[in-house]
Structure 1
């Protein structure tokens, strides 16, 4: 039986506006034990920012992050899935676009995030990625 994205996704994603300071997003990631936040305008998803985006697009290019906003580091290639989509189809899309996390949207509105780790824990619980994804946060 096919498994749906809604069965594996993290619900109630942290969603912030493009003008949110990067530091605020980093704090949200730390406090929630997550590696991404969705970037939304109104009730529509505009993009996703990961902890890696903050380092590679933020810290690597700036000496001072005080003026850096999520719009400055947001991934411009948004890959999405729907809650009722087959997990294998969503994972294939992640592979095709070389992304580790995708926004889950329903009617354009964010309802969750699906990560490769989420899929690994469910699909191959004995894999190294599943072990790492299921481990407690180290912060």
Structure 2
């Protein structure tokens, strides 16, 4: 199974000029954990992301919620190509300590996979377990 089969598409996007307050509203209304920030003139190119955790951090530190998303988005975007196997998606999430990864197809925005998507699919969990067993056979990775 690859990233393309699990990616939630279309991803929820906001324009780079969208206020953080409106980003928070979008997250709440859509019941999602992340939005992809794009330029309305190039909606297939992810510029950054803003997550629920980011919004909480902005509130805690007194960031002006009327600021544009572009000013506070996380960039560059960590992406995986749609053809990547799901074990690679899980590895990217683990190595970057993130709960969402943006999926591209041919370099264009395709979807988003969350950690919940990965653990919510029994077949995905089986595949990740098999991958883990193969790693154990090779021995631990050097950090």
Rg larger in structure: 2
Q: CA RMSD in A?
A: 1.7
Q: What's the TM-score, normalizing by structure 2?
A: 0.77
Q: Equivalences for 1:87-98 in 2 at 5 Å?
A: 87-98=86-97
Aligned-pair distance for 1:34?
Answer: 0.7
What's the counterpart of residue 53 of structure 1? Answer: 54
Question: Tell me, which stretches of 5 or more residues in structure 2 are unaligned?
Answer: 127-143
Aligned-pair distance for 1:63?
Answer: 6.1
Q: What is the distance in 2 between the residues matched to 1:90 and 1:64? A: 34
Structure 1 runs of 4+ off > 4 angstroms?
none
Residue aligned with 1:45, SS: coil
Q: What is the distance in 2 between the residues matched to 1:63 and 1:93? A: 29
Q: Summarize deviations over 1:64-118 as a string: whole Å, max 9, x none.
A: 422x221232112421012111000111011111111011112332111011110
What's the counterpart of residue 110 of structure 1? Answer: 109
Aligned-pair distance for 1:124?
Answer: 3.9
Aligned length: 121
Q: What is the distance in 2 between the residues matched to 1:96 and 1:47? A: 19
Q: What is the distance in 2 between the residues matched to 1:104 and 1:63? A: 29
Residue aligned with 1:30, SS: helix
What's the counterpart of residue 14 of structure 1? Answer: 12
